[in-house]
Amino acid sequence: MDSILLLSIFLVFVTALVGSFLQRRRRDRVLAELQDYHAIARMQNGERVWGRMEVYPNGLELRFSQPYQNHRGHLATSYILFRDSIEQLQCLYRYNSELSPSNQARRERELRRTHSPGWWRIALRRAQNFMNTFRDAINESMGMLLTRMKGTSSMSLFRTQDERLKKIGSQALGVVGNAYDPILERYLGKRVIVELQTPEGEKEEYAGLLREYSQAWLSVFDCRTRETNRLPLGDHLRLSLQRDLDFWMRVERSERNADHLILQLRLTSFSEQALFCKSIETGSYQFPINHQLENGETAEFRLDDLPFDKLDASCRDRLPIEFSLIAPERLADADKEADSPTSAMTSCLPDVELLIESEREVDVFAPRTLAVLRHGSV
- The confidence band for 8, taking pLDDT boundaries of 50, 70 and 90, is low
Cα diameter, the chain: 96
Q: Are 72 and 127 in contact (CB under 8 A)?
A: no
**Three-state SS at 374:** strand
**Residue 115 buriedness (CB in 10 A; 0-12 / 13-18 / 19+):** exposed
| Tally of domains in the chain | 1
202 or 153, higher pLDDT = 202
Decide if 339 is inside a domain: yes
Q: Are 358 and 226 in contact (CB under 8 A)?
A: yes
Decide if 306 is inside a domain: yes
pLDDT for 267 equals 95
- High-pLDDT (> 90) share of the chain, %: 34
pLDDT for 343 equals 56
| Poorest-pLDDT segment among 143-147, 156-160, 184-188, 288-292 | 156-160
Q: Are 211 and 220 in contact (CB under 8 A)?
A: yes
**Three-state SS at 81:** strand
**pLDDT of 60 over the 90 cut:** yes
Could you list the residue range(s) of the whole structural domain that residue 312 is in? 234-351
Strands (E) across 154-308 are located at: 191-197, 203-213, 217-232, 245-253, 260-269, 275-282, 285-293, 298-307
Decide if 33 is inside a domain: no
For residues 177-182, average pLDDT: 69
Decide if 319 is inside a domain: yes
**pLDDT of 131 over the 90 cut:** no
Express each pLDDT in 13-53 by its tens digit: 565 555 555 555 578 889 999 999 999 999 988 888 999 99
Q: Which residues contact 84 (CB under 8 A, 6 or more apart)?
A: none
pLDDT for 235 equals 85
**pLDDT of 364 over the 60 cut:** yes
| Poorest-pLDDT segment among 6-10, 207-211, 340-344 | 340-344
For residues 174-203, average pLDDT: 82
- The confidence band for 74, taking pLDDT boundaries of 50, 70 and 90, is confident
- The confidence band for 336, taking pLDDT boundaries of 50, 70 and 90, is very low
248 or 255, higher pLDDT = 248
Decide if 192 is inside a domain: no
Decide if 336 is inside a domain: yes
- Supply the mean pLDDT for the chain: 79
**pLDDT of 156 over the 50 cut:** no
Q: How far is CA 343 from CA 66, 296, 303, 306, 338, in A?
A: 11, 29, 24, 22, 16
Q: In what order do the strands lie in the sheet with 245-253?
A: 298-307, 260-269, 245-253, 321-325
Which of 364, 356, 366 is CA-nearest to residue 93?
364
Angle between the N-to-C axes of helices 162-176 and 135-152, in degrees from 0 to 180, rounded to the nearest 10: 150
Decide if 301 is inside a domain: yes
- The confidence band for 5, taking pLDDT boundaries of 50, 70 and 90, is low
Tell me which amino acid residue 219 is: S
- High-pLDDT (> 70) share of the chain, %: 71
Decide if 267 is inside a domain: yes
